[in-house]
Amino acid sequence: MTQHQDPHCLYDSKELAETLIDAETIQHRIQELGAQLTRDYAGSRPHLIGILKGASVFHADLIRAIDLPVSIDFLAVSSYGNSTTTSGEVRILKDPDEKLEGRDVLLVEDIIDTGLTINYLLSVLHNREPRSLKVITLLSKPSRRLVNVQVDYIGFEIPDKFVVGFGLDFEQRYRNLPFIACLATPIE
Ligand code: IMP
Ligand code: MG
């Protein structure tokens, strides 16, 4: 793969195929999700835990679209390394800083693919006795699911394509794109 490493370029256009979701569409959907969460969590103080690193961009925009006294935290799990396939093995690299007991916890993900990551996290976090535990994801690839996991809020359902941008990376690049794009070369 040709890789253009000019640090002044936002991205190498040769590596990206079509834009799947443009910036305006993403922002509009986040406002809708924020309004829905504001209604659903009315009277509560939802605790939004972003899953690093991918969900950080979505998390930052989402919390500002919620008109409630929210609190935030982050957790980190082992990623797929520099590959785009999953071994199904998930490890927590960084635990949330705050206690979850009795709180209305909302896990914020960038994308749910096989469902293995979120499935594992839900089982671990349930044991910390939150009052409620729900999942919101910007993207979902339903055709790729290996486990049946309940996802409470979904920004966009997308086809089985490897995507980058808005927090999602390929080998740690493209997280800063304000839109979601497909990679030009299908990768395994
Ligand atoms: P799951 O355990 O297969 O659901 O994996 C979810 C994680 O895989 C996401 O949090 C991403 O880090 C990564 N991932 C899955 N699909 C993509 C993609 O199309 N682009 C970038 N990262 C992806
Ligand atoms: Mg992730």
pLDDT in 10s for each residue of the chain, 188 residues = 334 444 444 555 678 888 999 999 999 999 999 999 999 999 999 999 999 999 999 999 999 999 999 999 999 998 655 445 555 567 899 999 999 999 999 999 999 999 999 999 999 999 999 999 999 999 999 999 999 999 999 999 999 999 999 999 999 999 999 999 998 875 55
Question: Which pLDDT does position 97 carry in this prediction?
Answer: 97
Please tell me the residue having the least CA distance from ligand 1 atom 11: 111
Contact (CB, 8 A) for 71 and 45: yes
Note the pTM of the prediction, 2 decimals: 0.90
Question: Which pLDDT does position 11 carry in this prediction?
Answer: 59
Ligand 1 mutation target, pool 111, 166, 185, most atoms within 8 A of CB? 111
Contact (CB, 8 A) for 154 and 137: yes
Q: Quote the strand ranges of the chain, DSSP E.
A: 16-21, 47-52, 71-77, 92-94, 104-112, 132-140, 153-157, 163-164, 180-183
Ligand 1 binding pocket includes 50 (Cβ within 6 Å)? no
Please tell me the residue having the least CA distance from ligand 1 atom 15: 113
Whole-number CA gyration radius for the chain: 17
